A and B are shown apart, each in its own frame.
Chain A
Amino acid sequence: MRVLLRNPKREIDVPAPTTVGRLLRDLEVVPESVLVIRNDTLVTHDAPLADGDVVEIRPVISGGAT
């Protein structure tokens, strides 16, 4: 299963099946800090992830305050 990460932009391969929540825990990503997009669709933390899925873990924290 392809997982796209950002900052810096990179791609990793992760064994499937799994769930969004488990994937974030395995990658040590704080769920509140990201959106997870599976095959171009937003998914919740309990969503299943299967072989062949393309998953983007998109960071949402923006820097600097005005």
Chain B
Amino acid sequence: MIDIRRHNAAFCGDCFSHHCREQVRRAIADFGMIEAGERVLVAVSGGKDSLGLWHLLRELGYDADGLYVGLGIGEYSGESARYAREFAHEHGWKLLEVDLPATFGFDVPDGSRAARRAPCSACGLSKRHVFNQAAIDHGYDVIATGHNLDDEAAVLFGNVLHWDAGYLGRQHPVLPAAPGFARKVKPLVRLGERELAAYCVLHAIDYIVEECPMAAGNRHIGYKEALNAIEERSPGSKAAFMFGFLDRAHARFAADAEEERADLRACSQCGAPTPGDVCAFCRLRARATGAPIPVRAAGEKHR
């Protein structure tokens, strides 16, 4: 049914499902991602990784709900939301939704234009803020994102190319909880993109195959293509690169990242942790909307 060259193996359907569950179980155990009884909020986009992750976590017995963030990217956002909602409805699982334009008054294209940032940068900043705030507001212990081995290897590749020590220190499958931050985990880190796609096909999980139109030609896709070319010649290279970094190099950069996190204070606008007076998300929102941002009263939640 599917061959995975880096494992030097081909699998039938049942064995492949077992393989995927085992890789997630092992990632959770090895990195201490989720404790028994903890509530998990899965960042859901309607794509193969987030829907596959949600399915796998539930198969492994975790209490996992989903959160979909509407980013206002035209028809693409409408389509991806539909996949997320239909998946949740089909399984009877809880899906929270936050719509960036409706809640915060701007969408990713607005944010990208106003801040002169690449769309993926404005998107990532917005999603991280919303996921964290939702986890805090709704009492979830852990945020689980669908970053897979290929994603992490590509990010690592970019961080190494630019020797970005700060990012290298923060790149880990677990970002521990801190004041104002929920724990963030990446349970798919041992699975590649082909495996996630195959898992979804095998389990008849309908997901949005078309790429986000704003991601076309971005650097990360280029890094993935380069790494896939290396993987073709030398199967196992991506895993060796990623797990070799975590085992033998991450600790050398981690101290710098810890110091950065220790110097955070509450954003004067929304209360989220930030090194400055106003967090990056509130600054982006102010630029994108041109409107003054109301200060949240103590204990008030986002609407």
Contacts and interface: CB of A to CB of B under 8 A. Distances in A.
Interface residues of A, number: 25
Given A7-B211, A42-B202, A44-B2, A62 B193 contact: yes
Interface string A37-59: 10001111110000000000011
Nearest to A30: B228
Interface in B1-54: 1-3, 5, 10, 43, 47-49
A33 B193 CA distance: 8
Contacts of A35: 2, 194, 197-198, 201
A-side interface mostly: loop
A7 B209 CA distance: 9
Contacts of B154: 65
Interface residues of B, number: 44
A31 interface: yes
A64 interface: yes
B258 interface: no
A61 B193 contact: yes
Interface string A5-41: 0110100000000000000000000111111010001
B1 A62 contact: no
Interface in B191-249: 192-194, 196-198, 201-202, 209-212, 214-216, 218, 220-221, 224-225, 228-229, 231-232
B190 interface: no
B201 A65 contact: no
Given A33-B225, A35-B201, A45 B3 contact: yes
Contacts of B48: 60, 62
A9 B209 CA distance: 10
Contacts of A6: 209-210
